[in-house]
Amino acid sequence: MTPAVRHPAEPAATPATTPPTSPARRRRAPKPPSALLSRAGVTAVLALATVYTLAPLTWLLLSSTKSRADLFGTNGFALGEEMHLAENLRHLFSADGGVYLRWLANTVAYAGGGALLAALFGVAAGYAFDKLAFPGKERLFALVLLGVMVPGTALAIPLYLLAAEAGLVNTFWGVFLPGLVFPFGVYLARVFSAAYVPDEVLEAARMDGAGEFRAFCRIGLPMLAPGFVTIFLFQFTQIWNSFFLPLVMLSDQDLYPVNLGLYVWYSSALAQGHPEDYLLAVVGSLVAVAPLIAVFLMLQRFWKSGMTAGAVK
Amino acid sequence: MATPSTRGQRGAAALLLSPFLVLFAAVTLAPLLHTAWLSLFTTRTSGLGFAGARSVFAGLDNYARALSDPGFRDGFLVVAAYCAVYIPVMIGGALVLALLLDSGLARARSFFQLALFLPHAVPGLIAALIWVYLYTPGLSPVVDLLRSGGIDIGFLSADTAVLSTANIAVWEWTGYNMVIFYAALQAVPRETLDAAKVDGAGALRTALSVKVPMIRPAVALAVLFTVIGSVQLFTEPKVIYSASTAIGSSWTPNMYVQTAAFQNNDFGLAAAASLLIALFAAALSFAVTRISRRGSQS
């Protein structure tokens, strides 16, 4: 949670006897238990919802360890007859001349590289909108907000048509360049800059004769580091998620991101009746998702702060 | 008169803004304008096709064709039906879960938050793949389980296509919005809640009459983003489409555009339909922004 979001609890209103625990626990005294509103009832409902969210992931994990016969022959929420994970992984990384590794590398380049630059450009622009005076500022910002309103998927065909003119169809750049632009990130960066970078500090730097650009690099950017990570994560998920754009832009398998590759494997399994490709898409999905989940668990502080900054303000 | 300091600020602003603005112009504004231009032309094959195709100015013909095509209009009906199922279930579910977490009665709050959020770390295409497997008879433990209980649901049939698609989205987005609502609930001032308690309101009454109205802006914003996302519906039906005959190649507006462009090579029509979708989404988000602003002011 960011300082911009957290509303300080009024100390005067807190009874002296309340133990200093988390805000949610502090504010409520134990209630007389009624059927659904009891501790057990509430926890049971949450547990049920958790079963719903975790079951498909459990299925993915278990299925990745099965042989093809077990995939179709055993219960999806139970282990198979034999442990087949190593064979599946070997098959995954050797299929179609090892193209899966290539897809992973592409995805890291599209999503990682793209989001890194998009976050840098977004933070710089948001900082400028917040801290610097220049003519036409609010009108320009309105243009950025317009960009927030145009949905990404609706832009895929326009991007394709322009890329066709520019000769960028079926190239790395056709997918990479659109990822560099993240108008919502600029909006977020402006919010973060107003919250994290005190004007007094900049005034002091100006007094000391630091140029504006230097002040941004030395003071603004370091103070905006948490905002930078948040915007990076947002854009990273967005690019990692994108499917329509690569689907229309790319025909060369070597340029595919993981998403598109898995889709092609899956549809070819269906269309050409290659049952072994069924497993390929399953194991490929697990390998693509596992690191992503790990990153999310490690960086939860940042995605939470970004989500709440965007919504609670 | 520009003092040295304001001149310095202008220079720095130009430097800091230009990478974003140049790229923004190149990958957002330029494609939109270019597409608007292309949408005014149509390709005609002259004679018997020997002379090749020529581009002919068609005015607003492509827009009229898109709007009068039942295939395109039906896509919006599908999206509307999808929203009618998906938004109440997902937003309602997220709200209930957030209120339960915030009720002070839940154990293991941070575990539940993470476990419920986890699907959001899964890319939409992979989520769709997993669920299509779980929908497929013979492969899915869910179908088997229901069948052994005497319930026979074809998740991939025409009747259930909207529900099956909505379920994937519910799975992906409920936890995400729950985290947002929970954060908003924690920002509700405790004096307000104490006042409600003093007035004799129980936990349920406080939740419905105090907490929910106070986080209305957050809910409105979540609805806004959900609606914009729904207009773009593409990935999930595209994946189900390959497994099911119930979903046609232009089931949603974006699928219509893709079919027009790459199966029929009708780029004028695809351009016009694409812009109509973008316009529709922008108008929707503008309307919802207005509503949510009015809501938070009252």
Amino acid in the structure at residue A48 = L
For residue B46, give both structure tokens. Answer: 């002259």
Q: Rounded to 5 degrees, what angle do the CA atoms A2, B18, A242 make?
A: 65
For A125, which of B16, B105, B258 is closest by C-beta distance?
B16
In the predicted model, is pLDDT for residue A61 greater than 80? yes
In the predicted model, is pLDDT for residue B137 greater than 70? yes
Of residues B259 and B48, the one with the higher pLDDT is B259
In the predicted model, is pLDDT for residue A310 greater than 60? no
Minimum mean pLDDT range among B11-15, B116-120, B122-126, B223-227: B223-227
Of residues B181 and B54, the one with the higher pLDDT is B181
Band of residue A22 on the pLDDT scale cut at 50, 70, 90 = very low
In the predicted model, is pLDDT for residue A170 greater than 90? yes
For residue A56, give both structure tokens. Answer: 């498909």
Residues 41-70 of B with CB under 8 A from A: none
Band of residue A8 on the pLDDT scale cut at 50, 70, 90 = very low
Q: Rounded to 5 degrees, what angle do the CA atoms A293, A297, A299 make?
A: 115
Band of residue A10 on the pLDDT scale cut at 50, 70, 90 = very low
In angstroms, what separates the C-alpha of A226 from chain B's closest C-alpha?
18
For residue A75, give both structure tokens. Answer: 């219960």
With a pLDDT cut of 70, the percent of chain A lying above it is 85
Residues 29-68 of A with CB under 8 A from B: 31, 37-39, 41-43, 45-47, 49-50, 52-54, 56-57, 59-60, 63
Band of residue A1 on the pLDDT scale cut at 50, 70, 90 = very low
Q: Write the pLDDT tens digit of every residue in A143-165.
A: 998 888 787 788 899 999 999 99
What kind of fold does domain A96-308 have according to CATH? MetI-like fold (1.10.3720)
The b-or-e profile of B68-105 (16+ CB within 10 A means b, else e) is ebebbebbbebbeebbebbbebbbebbbbbbbbbbbbb
Cα separation, A74 vs A66, in Å, equals: 9
Minimum mean pLDDT range among A217-221, A301-305, B58-62, B112-116: A301-305
Contact A101, A165 (CB under 8 A): no
A–B CB contacts, 8 A cutoff, strictly below: 330
DSSP character at residue A20: -
B208 at the A interface (CB within 8 A)? no
In the predicted model, is pLDDT for residue A223 greater than 60? yes
pTM of the complete model: 0.84
For B258, which of A26, A42, A248 is closest by C-beta distance?
A248
pLDDT at A313: 43
Chain A residues in contact with B100 by the CB 8 A cut-off are 42, 45-46
With a pLDDT cut of 90, the percent of chain A lying above it is 49
The b-or-e profile of B232-262 (16+ CB within 10 A means b, else e) is bbbbbbbbbbebbebbbebbbbbbbbbbbbe
pLDDT at A181: 95
In the predicted model, is pLDDT for residue A219 greater than 80? yes
DSSP character at residue B50: T
Minimum mean pLDDT range among A33-42, B88-97, B253-262: A33-42
Residues 120-139 of B with CB under 8 A from A: 120-127, 129-131, 133-134, 138-139
In the predicted model, is pLDDT for residue B288 greater than 90? no
Contact at CB, B282 and A149, closer than 8 angstroms: yes
For the segment A267-281, the average pLDDT, to the nearest whole number, is 78
For the segment A238-261, the average pLDDT, to the nearest whole number, is 94
Mutation for B interface: A5, A10, A26, A46, most B CBs within 10 A: A46
Q: Which phi and psi angles does A167 have, rounded to 5°?
A: 75, 25
Task: Kindly compute the dihedral angle of the four CA atoms of residues A7, A12, A15, A18, in this order, to the nearest 10 degrees.
Answer: 40
Mutation for A interface: B10, B28, B62, most A CBs within 10 A: B28
Contact at CB, A149 and B187, closer than 8 angstroms: no
Band of residue A2 on the pLDDT scale cut at 50, 70, 90 = very low
With a pLDDT cut of 70, the percent of chain B lying above it is 92
Of residues B110 and B3, the one with the higher pLDDT is B110
Contact A127, A236 (CB under 8 A): no
Contact B43, B53 (CB under 8 A): yes
For the segment A261-265, the average pLDDT, to the nearest whole number, is 92
Band of residue A311 on the pLDDT scale cut at 50, 70, 90 = low
Minimum mean pLDDT range among A28-42, A120-134, B220-234: A28-42
Contact at CB, A49 and B180, closer than 8 angstroms: no
Band of residue B64 on the pLDDT scale cut at 50, 70, 90 = very high
Q: Which domains does chain B have, with CATH numbers?
A: 58-293 (1.10.3720.10)
Segments making up each domain of chain A, as ranges: 39-83, 96-308
Residues 154-213 of A with CB under 8 A from B: 154-162, 165, 177-178, 180-181, 183, 186, 206, 211-213
Residues 229-268 of A with CB under 8 A from B: 237, 240-241, 243-244, 247-248, 259, 262-263, 266-267
pLDDT at A11: 37
In the predicted model, is pLDDT for residue A14 greater than 50? no
Contact B278, B254 (CB under 8 A): no
Cα separation, B33 vs A159, in Å, equals: 11
Contact A134, B14 (CB under 8 A): yes
Contact A152, A238 (CB under 8 A): yes
**Cα–chain center distance at A107:** 13
Q: Give the contacts of A295 (CB within 8 A, at least 6 positions apart).
A: B121
- Residues recorded for chain B: 298
Contact at CB, A308 and B183, closer than 8 angstroms: yes
Q: Write the pLDDT tens digit of every residue in B172-216.
A: 999 999 999 998 898 888 888 888 888 888 888 888 888 988 888
Contact at CB, B180 and A311, closer than 8 angstroms: yes
Q: Which helix (H) or strand (E) holds A229?
A: helix A225-241
A249, B229, B242 from A272: Cα distances, Å: 24, 32, 12
* A198 phi-psi bin (left φ>0, alpha ψ -120 to 50, beta other): beta
In the predicted model, is pLDDT for residue A3 greater than 50? no
Q: Rounded to 5 degrees, what angle do the CA atoms A70, B130, A259 make?
A: 115
In the predicted model, is pLDDT for residue B95 greater than 80? yes
In the predicted model, is pLDDT for residue A81 greater than 90? no
In the predicted model, is pLDDT for residue A27 greater than 80? no
Cα separation, B26 vs A145, in Å, equals: 16
Band of residue A18 on the pLDDT scale cut at 50, 70, 90 = very low
